[in-house]
Structure 1
Amino acid sequence: MLKQQLQQKLQQKLSPQQIQLIRLLELPAIELEERIKHELEDNPALEEGKEVTDDSDHAEEEFGEDLSSPENGTDADIDLSLGDYRSEDDIPDYKLNEVNSKKERKEEIPFSVGESLNEYLLEQLGLRNLTEKQKAIAEYIIGNIDDDGYLRRELSSIADDLIFQAARDVSVEEVEEVLRIIQDFEPGGIGARDLQECLLLQLDKKEPTSACKLAVQVLRDYFDEFTKKHYDKILRSLNIDEAALKKAIREITCLNPKPGGNWGDSMGIAMSQIIPDFVVEATNGELILSMNNRNIPDMRVNREYSEMLEDYSANKANQSADMKDAVTFVKQKLDSAKWFIDAVKQRQETLQRTMQAIIQLQPEFFLTGDEATLHPMILKDVAERSGYDISTISRVSNSKYVQTNFGIYPLKYFFSESMQTDSGEEISTREVKKIMKEHIDNEDKRKPLTDEELSSILKEKGYIIARRTVAKYREQLDIPVARLRKEI
């Protein structure tokens, strides 16, 4: 049975301008520079320079209304509403589908890197006297070695791939034989299938001292006990003294658990260069905030495009279909340029007001640099003081940095939850974590402090914290449990 019914629904939908602003808010300074550069290259109606007075607004509005009026007939029935342009190529980036927008946010920052691990291994392969079949197997194995230098695929899977993809009849034994050759390459430990094999390969390349031989024996026969730091069991089983085991452990701890990691250094250094978004200077007890706009150019709407639209508006009586298409294109590019300029300005204003709110909530830290002066602060506190929504504050604080007289800090550094002391005083959990870390750093490594003991120490200092809360803070500090901190 067919039935008609009316339904009222309230929906909230973001406008293209809001979507663009949200995406710009998430970008740190260096990515904003790349985004502006991309927009300047992509939109001919946008150019660098101080903004000039544009008198074409009225002409645009009048012309747009005339084009969409019924008097112009079906050929002139062109909708110039925002975002509804004919060609997908002319749609601004922020109006494209979600997949493309994600790609845009992950736009790569150009940097130069040296030789890759793969290239380095292939160079060494060329120096070996191998058959064509062995070379083909070796190249395939090298292609499967990950960024850490490990081969995490089963040899049987590699043999199957070579059979089906390269049409080569290869056995697992042949693959393993070639793998042994690759494992002799530099850096030591390359091509290992697990951590144990990686460490043993590196020890094989070292001078066979008594400490090195003992280290090999420990890794080969007592790897689980070693990783769990059950040193007493190793001492009893091998019937050795603590001094000998200490030397063996020193040999092991000097090894590289990620032999391929060194080849990521050049990329890591390039990507880890921090450019602060804010600069807060403390001068004579006063805090001065400035935005880091050094590499962000002034932008304006291209005057030629504005005049072009004015010319079209003046000659609207005789419009061909091609000219109307040209008008649509010009107006779309002008609108896109204006929206982008406004979005960048609004982003800067939002960032500045948010940072001012953080400074007002944490003035002692910016004046002294003392972590103990940090007050408990959550996103809601900054949102209430700045007048923005919590989600906006979250976007602003993500991947942003501030330069102070005492170093560069991520904005997230200033956020922490609160807790009460036994006297009822509100303090930041950061202060508790700092006390915990100091005690762990100064503990007797032969008998590390357990979470229960840390909880008791904190209670003596007036911080009433349960053992499970101590465990949570310890994990947040990336500190292992007492058993794994034990040394001999």
Structure 2
Amino acid sequence: MKLETNLKQTQIQTQKLSLKQQFSLKVLEMNDTQVLDAIVAELEINPVLEANENIYAMQEHAYGDRTPFDLALNYVVQEESLSETLLKQLHTDSHQVNEALADFIIESLDSNGYLRLSMEELMEITHASFEELEETINVIQTFEPYGVCARSLQECILIQLSYLHHPALKTAITITDRYLEELAQNKLPWLASCLNISLEEVNAAAALIRSCNPKPGSSYAHPSAYVAADAKITVIDR
């Protein structure tokens, strides 16, 4: 008996599901509650997805009292921006200022809380007088966090120092006002000689200055660059 080996080519049609198709089939197998759970879980691990309050309202309605709804709100953390913080103070402040002008100045602050527009630019844009602008800026500079709306690092520190009480405060103000560059160069013995005070007093004043925040607006939420979401969920009331 002779054994022979032959090669034959046959065509078999098969279907391979993509990951997207597999996910779609998986979703179709879920009930409403499971879909909501999957959405909330994905929101927790995927920072580029966005959700509105309807998602959590639907989940609360689906679970009733079985799930603490407050925990679901932890999936979306809402932070207050610097401008929102300052505008709240503006609307409750006792000073009589042009709120529209103050609003514009607040919205013009950079992410660190500084006012980078010059007085000439502000006058050209707002058509306000120098005196009105200066008065409005002075009022905003009384808001917290102290140091906002400053036009330089020197002014930012001086604003913060004005709200402190410390034995070295007078020296700290003098150094900030006149010798901030020398302090940055760590010329402490020179400062002591120039001000006719001890090195210990200079060190105390320097420590007080360095305790001030050079970027008072940096700890607040800031608008981020737009990121295209992987998916967008729209809830339509029926």
What TM bracket, shorter-length normalisation? 0.5 to 0.7
After TM superposition, the structure 1 = structure 2 runs for residues 257-272 of structure 1, keeping only pairs within 5 Å, are 257-264=214-221
Residue in structure 1 matched with residue 126 of structure 2 by the alignment: 162
Distance 1:151 1:109, change over 3 A: farther
> 4+ residue runs of structure 1 moved beyond 6 angstroms?
none
Distance 2:118 2:136 in 1: 14
Does residue 1:125 correspond to 2:90, yes or no? Answer: yes
Does residue 1:233 correspond to 2:190, yes or no? Answer: yes
Within the candidate set 73, 77, 80, 1:112 is matched to: 77
Residue in structure 1 matched with residue 152 of structure 2 by the alignment: 194
Shift of 1:46: 3.2
Distance 1:192 1:263 in 2: 17
SS across alignment from 1:47: helix
Distance 1:204 1:50 in 2: 62
SS across alignment from 1:48: helix
Shift of 1:264: 3.7
Shift of 1:130: 4.8
Superposed CA deviations along residues 249-269 of structure 1, whole A, max 9, x for unmatched, are 11111111110011149x9xx
Shift of 1:50: 11
TM superposition score normalised by structure 1:
0.31
Residue in structure 1 matched with residue 99 of structure 2 by the alignment: 135
Distance 1:123 1:50 in 2: 46
Distance 1:221 1:247 in 2: 17
SS across alignment from 1:262: coil
After TM superposition, the structure 1 = structure 2 runs for residues 299-338 of structure 1, keeping only pairs within 5 Å, are none
Where structure 2 has 5 or more consecutive residues not aligned to the other structure, the ranges are 1-17, 26-46, 51-75, 225-238
Are 2:80 and 2:221, in contact at CA under 8 Å, matched by a contact in 1?
Answer: no
After TM superposition, the structure 1 = structure 2 runs for residues 394-433 of structure 1, keeping only pairs within 5 Å, are none
Shift of 1:238: 0.4
Distance 1:47 1:211 in 2: 70
Shift of 1:159: 1.6
Distance 1:50 1:159 in 2: 58
Distance 1:175 1:49, change over 3 A: closer
Q: Which amino acid aligns with 1:112?
A: V
Distance 1:47 1:189, change over 3 A: same
Distance 1:229 1:222 in 2: 11
TM superposition score normalised by structure 2:
0.61
Within the candidate set 125, 131, 142, 1:184 is matched to: 142
Distance 1:154 1:187 in 2: 22
Distance 1:129 1:234 in 2: 41
After TM superposition, the structure 1 = structure 2 runs for residues 323-472 of structure 1, keeping only pairs within 5 Å, are none
Residue in structure 2 matched with residue 149 of structure 1 by the alignment: 113
Distance 1:109 1:239 in 2: 61
Residue in structure 2 matched with residue 242 of structure 1 by the alignment: 199
Shift of 1:233: 1.9
Within the candidate set 163, 172, 177, 2:130 is matched to: 172
Specify the structure having the higher radius of gyration (Cα). Answer: 1
Distance 2:113 2:83 in 1: 10
Higher strand content, 1 or 2: 1
Distance 1:49 1:134 in 2: 56
Residue in structure 1 matched with residue 58 of structure 2 by the alignment: none
Distance 1:130 1:246 in 2: 38
Are 2:168 and 2:204, in contact at CA under 8 Å, matched by a contact in 1?
Answer: yes
State the number of aligned residues.
161
Shift of 1:48: 3.3
After TM superposition, the structure 1 = structure 2 runs for residues 57-136 of structure 1, keeping only pairs within 5 Å, are 108=48, 110=50, 112-131=77-96, 134-136=98-100
Shift of 1:185: 0.4
